[in-house]
Amino acid sequence: MTGAVWLEGLAADCAGAPLPDSLAGWREDLPDTLRELVNRVATAGGGIWLVGGSVREALLGRGAYDHDLATTLHPDQVIEIFPRAIPTGAAFGTVTVRIGEDSDHYEVTTLRSEGTYGDGRRPDKVDYSESLLEDLSRRDFTINAIAVDLARSQIHDPFGGMDDLDEQVLQAVGIASERLGEDGLRLMRGYRFMDQGAQGVWAPDPALSAALIECGHMLQHVAAERVWSEFKRILAGWNAAQVLERMRVDGMLSRIFPGWDADLAAQHVLRAPKGEVAICRLVLLAADVDHARWRRLDHDMRELTLSNRDREHILEVHRLLGQLPDDVAETRRYRFAVGDRIESHLAVEDVLRPEASAEARAALAVLPALRGGDKPLVDGHQLARAAEMPMGRRLGRLKSWLHRMQIELDLDDTEEILGLLDIIDWQNGDAESWPGPEWP
């Protein structure tokens, strides 16, 4: 996009500095659709600045981030300029603008002035402003209170966020206890921003450290799904173990999951499958909760609005703790029954029972596929004739028992499977006690 024209909109009301040389190439590589958005707002007489994560990540020299913008125009004015815009959060000044054939999306939010947060979750009312300085002053952390005027190639950093990025420190904008007291979700964001990936864990300054403890009670005012959204990102972070340690010391971990307080040393050595890190970390957090109290685990996860998929995955892997196969037959059944949850289960067992887990991995590595496949080779009608048993629950349980033996013995012949009826004691006893192919 070299040589592309950026039109200047309304100037900011706070001092700006030339864009750092390190961002010159970054600016040139920004999408044409972003330049079109900026130019159309400028033509309409508005001021517009790139803000938030994309500025922070660019200054850190890291990968792409969603491009969010702040403007002096009101939401209805933005929608008038961009008819395809979606009023995703118009009540709070945010409109999602769609531009181009690929429908690039940008969140454009009207500058806002300082307000009160009576419920600790959202502002009592939204007052729009034309002051970039005032808008940046109400943001959570200095590293998120930096704006870029793309047309003028200027950066606005009234609260020293760039210095904090250089020094790798987290600092609130203004008085830390006031910032966190306005919105309890900022507590979770504070812990999340401590984890800076390959750059390690950044420490909050003394004022923010104290505020994280002092304002901990504000978390109760935050919607559960928002807490989980942030906590899940913390769990998936590069340095999650260190952040969890900090959260425990501050008392925040027990506010989210009371009683899930297993030794956090295990978190430091966990190597979980991609996409299942948060799942495995939660299982480890609950490792000391015995199976008799699993309903409490289920309750806590429902309270925090985990998806059914995530909740069931965590409960299942937790149920499997300590249950590893001892021989080839059990390994076959383990592989069949646990299925796509094997890797997350073994990742946790690698930490808790490394020797047993290593043996299970070695056995699985050389185990051939089942000769007869996963499905039962004997159907209900065949079994009913062979056992002279009517259709019903008892027959179904017998079929499951034979399926288990088919898997454990690696059988692939129907007659051989039916021949097992001469060996097992299926004519007596309670059918509900008969074993099936499940694990353990």
399 occurs within a structural domain: yes
Q: Does residue 98 share a domain with residue 18?
A: yes
Q: Would the CA dihedral through 237, 239, 245, 249 be positive or negative?
A: negative
H helices, E strands: number in the chain: 21, 10
Number of domains in the chain: 3
Q: Residue 434's pLDDT band (boundaries 50, 70, 90)?
A: very high
Predicted local confidence at residue 209, as pLDDT: 98
pLDDT of 109 > 70? The answer is: yes
**What is the rounded CA–CA span in Å between residue 122 and residue 65?**
25
Mean pLDDT of 34-54: 96
pLDDT of 260 > 60? The answer is: yes
Cβ-contact 56, 75 below 8 angstroms: no
Predicted local confidence at residue 284, as pLDDT: 95
Domain extent, residue 11, equals 1-167
pLDDT of 38 > 60? The answer is: yes
243 occurs within a structural domain: no
198 occurs within a structural domain: no
Least confident of 17-31, 120-134, 374-388, 413-427: 120-134
Hey, what are 181's tokens? 């007291």
Predicted local confidence at residue 429, as pLDDT: 87
Mean pLDDT of 155-180: 97
Q: Let me know the angle formed at the C-alpha of 432 by 429 and 437, rounded to the nearest 5 degrees.
A: 115
218 occurs within a structural domain: no
Task: Compute CA 367 distance to the chain's CA centroid, rounded to the nearest angstrom.
Answer: 34
Mean pLDDT of 183-193: 97
Predicted local confidence at residue 185, as pLDDT: 96
Mean pLDDT of 46-55: 96
Q: Does residue 416 share a domain with residue 328?
A: no
223 occurs within a structural domain: no
Position 314: which residue type?
A: I
What is the DSSP track for 58-97? HHTT------EEEESS-HHHHHHH-TT-EEEEGGGTEEEE
How many CB atoms are closer than 10 A to CB 373?
A: 11
Hey, what are 394's tokens? 């008892």
Q: Does residue 103 share a domain with residue 21?
A: yes
Q: Which residues pair with 141 in a beta bridge?
A: 172
pLDDT of 2 > 60? The answer is: no
244 occurs within a structural domain: no
**What is the rounded CA–CA span in Å between residue 321 and residue 330?**
16
Q: Does residue 137 share a domain with residue 35?
A: yes
Q: What percent of the chain has pLDDT over 70?
A: 96
Mean pLDDT of 245-260: 93
Q: Does residue 35 share a domain with residue 69?
A: yes
Final residue in a domain of this structure, among 167, 200, 230: 167
Hey, what are 138's tokens? 């109400």
Final residue in a domain of this structure, among 307, 341, 365: 365
Position 230: which residue type?
A: E
Position 329: which residue type?
A: A
308 occurs within a structural domain: yes
160 occurs within a structural domain: yes
Q: Does residue 403 share a domain with residue 288?
A: no
Q: Does residue 160 share a domain with residue 61?
A: yes
Task: Name 6's Cβ contacts closer than 8 Å, sequence gap at least 6.
Answer: 35, 38, 39, 150, 151
pLDDT of 116 > 90? The answer is: no
pLDDT tens-place string over residues 93-107: 999 999 876 678 999
pLDDT tens-place string over residues 354-395: 999 999 999 999 999 999 999 999 999 999 999 999 999 999
Predicted local confidence at residue 122, as pLDDT: 59
CA distances from 134 to 108, 238, 361 (A): 17, 34, 58
Residue 282 vs residue 115, higher pLDDT? 282
Mean pLDDT of 181-204: 96
Predicted local confidence at residue 265, as pLDDT: 93
Residue 100 vs residue 402, higher pLDDT? 402
pLDDT tens-place string over residues 298-345: 999 999 999 999 999 999 999 999 999 999 999 999 999 999 999 999
pLDDT of 43 > 60? The answer is: yes
Predicted local confidence at residue 271, as pLDDT: 96
Helix (H) or strand (E) holding 98: strand 94-99
**What is the rounded CA–CA span in Å between residue 411 and residue 376?**
10
Hey, what are 110's tokens? 């009207």
Mean pLDDT of the chain: 93
Whole-model pTM? Answer: 0.89
Q: Would the CA dihedral through 271, 273, 275, 277 be positive or negative?
A: negative
What is the DSSP track for 21-58? GGGHHHHHTS-HHHHHHHHHHHHTT--EEEETHHHHHH
Predicted local confidence at residue 293, as pLDDT: 78
Predicted local confidence at residue 414, as pLDDT: 97
Predicted local confidence at residue 117, as pLDDT: 52
Q: Does residue 389 share a domain with residue 358?
A: no
CATH of the domain at 161: 3.30.460.10
Q: Does residue 306 share a domain with residue 347?
A: yes
Predicted local confidence at residue 93, as pLDDT: 92
Q: Does residue 422 share a domain with residue 292?
A: no
Q: Does residue 118 share a domain with residue 86?
A: yes
Final residue in a domain of this structure, among 112, 141, 167: 167
Mean pLDDT of 124-146: 92
**What is the rounded CA–CA span in Å between residue 387 and residue 434?**
16
Q: Does residue 98 share a domain with residue 21?
A: yes
Mean pLDDT of 184-197: 97
CA distances from 141 to 179, 186, 266, 273, 352 (A): 9, 9, 31, 32, 38
